[in-house]
Structure 1
């Protein structure tokens, strides 16, 4: 059995929609757009932290992205960020590059799915 978390938690997005009013779709779309736009700079900061050997910054950035990914219904991105955070806290930078690549891939997989899901309703 594959234990890889799903890219997108559609049920959680539906619950977020239910919290809003009739125009919740537009508001939610805007929130997700701003969130997705904030991720590339975070990835850049993580790459810079790896290059500098700064595990504190790497752990902090990974932790922040993991938390926001949970809120924004992106379980795979969260899972990858948590793995990266753990390695950073344990000072294991030798595996940080491939883990950050996994974070990048999870983001690249999620972004179009999120926008398609929000546009579909």
Structure 2
């Protein structure tokens, strides 16, 4: 029996995971390699608290930026017919998280452009 659940996973793998399907794949390309350190529990809990809090903050999209986002989604769909509602939902979620990560409750054009650049960069790394 399928049951909706709001559970977050982060899969770190050297290759594609055959165990769990992933909504998005991001190839890591560090700009420099340094010593790998350990992170204490307090820091980890702080990151977890931050991510959970940011995820639950209220958010809105103004009329102007809504039109910009809509036009960008239409253009993206025309350029790539394989894009679907999951991709669009992910982009909107990224926009919301980008805005609230800067402490804003409304998506700005600047943050939307940052989201589009992140997605372009992610796709380039997968090639």
TM-score, L = length of structure 1: 0.30
Higher helix share: 1
Determine which structure has more spread, i.e. the larger CA radius of gyration: 2
Asked which structure has the greater RCO (Cα within 8 Å, sep 6+), the reply is 1
What TM-score results when the alignment is normalised by the length of structure 2? 0.29
